[in-house]
Chain A
Amino acid sequence: MSMESRYDKPGLLATYGRDGLMQIILIANTVLMLFPIAIMVMSGFKSNIEIFQDPFSIPDFTNVSNFVAMATETAFMRYLLNSVVVTGASIFLLLTLGLMAAYAIARYEFWGSSFLLLFFMAGLMVPLKLAIIPLFILFRDMGILNTHWALIAVYTAMGLPSTVFIMTGFIRTLPRELEDAARMDGASEFRIMVSVMIPLCRPAMVIAGIYNLVPIWNDFFFPLVFIQNDALKTLPQGMTSFIGEYATDWGVMFAGLTLAAAPITIIYIILSKQFINGMTAGAVK
């Protein structure tokens, strides 16, 4: 039948229609993802009245008074600095310690090395949140409750298993020729590690760093329990203070949320590929 022969060429129409549907789904989803973020940013430039009466209008972007209020009248900058210090120190420590453990496990043969790898791997399965009570008591006894050290300790420990996992896998793939050559030249084991191996490990360190950066930077739970002193609060935790303070001033609240979202959003947009690879690193082998 002629009708049938026209539809006999499959693929074409079907494919075209299917891809059209897929494109519509993607566009609709992207609008759904970005529209709320756009509303958040735009509301930061508005007064209460403008937000309540005209929530979806384009604001006057030169009116930055809400942002100025947020940056000067609240402890926002202090929270931001605290977050940078805590996150920076934690990432530095977990990469350093993770690299040390991974290097020893991947590069040297010694008794118990596979047990050690399992020891670290077991940490991947443990939701450390559920050990919050013993951690609270431990930090109290150590005298570091209500200090940044409590956060740095728990974040470093939390990040070690994934770092060891990612780094061990990577270091094992590195060729041995380079370090053998260095060894022939009489370089010490320390020299070999620092001058030869660490530079080669950079890609894996980026992956492990990003994998841990996002949850540490965004964490709210541990500061909530460990930090009472307002001057020591990190950004996610500090946000609850200034949101409470400005509960009736929506423009300032939205400005604060926008400012708080800005640092990681900007880094994400610049490094989106590394972020996506890094954050799905544990899931995609």
Chain B
Amino acid sequence: MPAPTLNGISRTPARTPRLRVSGRGLWITFLLVPPVVVMALFVIYPIFSALAYAFYDWQGLARGDFVGFANFEKVLFQQPFAATTWNAFKNNIFVFFALMIIQNGLGFILAYALWRDLPGARFHRIAVFLPVVLSTVIIGYVWKLFFHPIFGAVNQLLKAVGLGSLATPWLGDADTALNALIFVNAWAWVGFPTLVFLAGLQRIPSEILDAARMETDSELTLIRRVIWPLIAPSATVCFVLLFIGSFNWFELPYIMVGLDGSPYGNTDVLGLYFYRTAFGNQSAGIQDFGMGSALAVLMFLFIAVVATTWTIYLRKREIEV
């Protein structure tokens, strides 16, 4: 047998080495060129273009003059755009913190419960993940109908159990609209952190748990001191993905409350504002690719910087344990 070398091909008993080498080069090129071209054309080029477009003035679909930071200045500081941007940003932040508590918090509790492998755990696991595979469009419409002030299932149910006084036009009321959207998002997505946490829990070696249980009777102490640190990698993933998702939020509010973030911008988020700016409000029919690109670049930078910094911080926490 020929000795294995690093070079995969040289192991073959090559009769005409030079031809084989160039043939190998051709073969690798053939394998790599199509995927690299697709990535370059549809990912790399658009990302860099988005950056460039933000510095130009746009007349409809035609690129006009170079305007420096004017588009950024408009969306960040010039009224009325700035007020919309900051209001949307504030709502994104609220959505993120609310979902951190509800979606990831409940996800952890459910994962812990599933981990105990009680009767029916398999069924519960399938049920909790079912909404995750459904389209946001379906989920949005179903819950929009459920939240209908008069005929919606939510208010009907409240009435049926004698809590009719709590019934309210959930999506039309400024106090409840964003919370209703957050609830629906948590309902739809709680299965994801649940199963990521569950996978983390299942990888904890049982010897460690047994040893820890000798030390303490309190399950809460065990969770805080042993389990939670050991599933830190799962937490990193859930936290960072939720952060990215919260600041890219678009489909659910678009379907449930419309492009304007009604009522009165109470549910407006950056994704909606970006779409309105770039592709026009249906009522106004205006579009501004320059300001839209500026918003996209700002969102991208914000998400990238925070997600990267936070990931590095969370990963460090994982190592220290």
The answer to whether A and B assemble together is yes
1/0 contact trace for B268-293 toward A, CB 8 Å? Answer: 00010010001100000000010011
1/0 contact trace for A170-195 toward B, CB 8 Å? Answer: 00000010001001100001100000
User: Shortest Cβ distance from B71 into chain A, in angstroms?
Assistant: 12
Nearest A residue to B156, CB-CB: A55
Chain B residues whose CB sits within 8 angstroms of the CB of A10 once the complex forms: 217
Tell me the interface secondary structure of chain A in the complex.
helix
**Which of A132-167 touch B at CB < 8 Å?**
132-135, 137-138, 140, 153-154, 156-158, 160-161, 164
Q: Which of A101, A190, A280 contacts B32 (CB 8 A)?
A: A101
A221 to B50, CA, bound (A): 17
Chain A residues whose CB sits within 8 angstroms of the CB of B307 once the complex forms: 125
- Say yes or no: A25-B109 contact (C-beta < 8 A), given A131-B50, A134-B45: yes
> Is B121 positioned at the interface, with any CB of A under 8 Å from its CB?
yes
A51 to B61, CA, bound (A): 46
A254 to B49, CA, bound (A): 42
Which of B73-81, B174-182, B244-252 is the contact stretch? B244-252
> Is A19 positioned at the interface, with any CB of B under 8 Å from its CB?
yes
Q: A interface, how many residues as a size bin?
A: 35 or more
**Which of A31-68 touch B at CB < 8 Å?**
32-34, 36-37, 39-40, 51-52, 55-56
Residue with the highest number of chain A CB atoms closer than 10 Å, among B24, B160, B296, B299: B296
> Is A14 positioned at the interface, with any CB of B under 8 Å from its CB?
yes
Chain B residues whose CB sits within 8 angstroms of the CB of A283 once the complex forms: 196, 199, 234, 237-238, 241
1/0 contact trace for A77-106 toward B, CB 8 Å? Answer: 000000000000000000001101101100
Verify B24–A189 contact, CB threshold 8 A: yes
A120 to B35, CA, bound (A): 9
> Is B132 positioned at the interface, with any CB of A under 8 Å from its CB?
yes
Verify A30–B53 contact, CB threshold 8 A: no
Verify A56–B157 contact, CB threshold 8 A: yes
> Is A29 positioned at the interface, with any CB of B under 8 Å from its CB?
yes
A190 to B23, CA, bound (A): 11
> Is B219 positioned at the interface, with any CB of A under 8 Å from its CB?
yes
> Is A202 positioned at the interface, with any CB of B under 8 Å from its CB?
no
Chain B residues whose CB sits within 8 angstroms of the CB of A37 once the complex forms: 130-131
A237 to B245, CA, bound (A): 20
Chain A residues whose CB sits within 8 angstroms of the CB of B143 once the complex forms: 36
Nearest A residue to B132, CB-CB: A279
Verify B46–A268 contact, CB threshold 8 A: no
Verify B116–A129 contact, CB threshold 8 A: no
Chain A residues whose CB sits within 8 angstroms of the CB of B271 once the complex forms: 129
Verify A30–B141 contact, CB threshold 8 A: no
Residues of B within 8 Å of A, CB-based: how many?
103
Verify B34–A100 contact, CB threshold 8 A: yes
Verify A107–B8 contact, CB threshold 8 A: yes
Q: Which of A133, A160, A218 contacts B134 (CB 8 A)?
A: A218
Verify B241–A133 contact, CB threshold 8 A: no
User: Shortest Cβ distance from A102 into chain B, in angstroms?
Assistant: 9
Q: Which of A26, A109, A133 contacts B278 (CB 8 A)?
A: A133
1/0 contact trace for A217-237 toward B, CB 8 Å? Answer: 110110001000000000111
Verify B304–A22 contact, CB threshold 8 A: no
**Which of B120-135 touch A at CB < 8 Å?**
120-121, 123-135
A127 to B43, CA, bound (A): 10
Tell me the interface secondary structure of chain B in the complex.
helix
Tally the A-B contacts, defined by beta carbons under 8 Å. Answer: 266
A132 to B276, CA, bound (A): 13
> Is A116 positioned at the interface, with any CB of B under 8 Å from its CB?
yes
Verify A225–B199 contact, CB threshold 8 A: no
> Is B303 positioned at the interface, with any CB of A under 8 Å from its CB?
yes
User: Shortest Cβ distance from A166 into chain B, in angstroms?
Assistant: 14
> Is A275 positioned at the interface, with any CB of B under 8 Å from its CB?
yes
**Which of B195-238 touch A at CB < 8 Å?**
195-196, 199-200, 217, 219, 233-234, 237-238
A183 to B187, CA, bound (A): 53
User: Shortest Cβ distance from B42 into chain A, in angstroms?
Assistant: 4
- Say yes or no: A127-B46 contact (C-beta < 8 A), given A104-B28, A104-B31, A133-B296: no
Chain B residues whose CB sits within 8 angstroms of the CB of A18 once the complex forms: 219
Q: Which of B35, B43, B123, B150 contacts A30 (CB 8 A)?
A: B123
User: Shortest Cβ distance from B191 into chain A, in angstroms?
Assistant: 8
A160 to B50, CA, bound (A): 20
Chain B residues whose CB sits within 8 angstroms of the CB of A260 once the complex forms: 135, 137-138
Verify A257–B141 contact, CB threshold 8 A: yes
> Could you list 28 examples of A-B contacts with CB < 8 Å?
A22-B112, A22-B116, A26-B113, A29-B124, A29-B190, A30-B123, A33-B130, A36-B153, A37-B130, A37-B131, A56-B160, A97-B35, A98-B35, A108-B24, A127-B244, A130-B50, A134-B53, A137-B61, A138-B45, A160-B38, A218-B135, A220-B254, A243-B141, A250-B145, A260-B137, A264-B135, A284-B196, A284-B200
**Chain B residues proximal to chain A, CB less than 8 Å:** 4, 6-9, 11-13, 23-25, 27-28, 31-32, 34-36, 38-39, 41-43, 45-47, 49-50, 53, 61, 106, 109-110, 112-114, 116, 118-121, 123-138, 141-143, 145-146, 150-151, 153, 156-157, 160, 187, 190-192, 195-196, 199-200, 217, 219, 233-234, 237-238, 241, 244, 248, 250-251, 254-255, 271, 274, 278-279, 289, 292-293, 296-297, 299-300, 303-304, 307
5 interchain residue pairs of minimum CB distance:
A157-B42, A134-B49, A131-B46, A218-B135, A22-B113
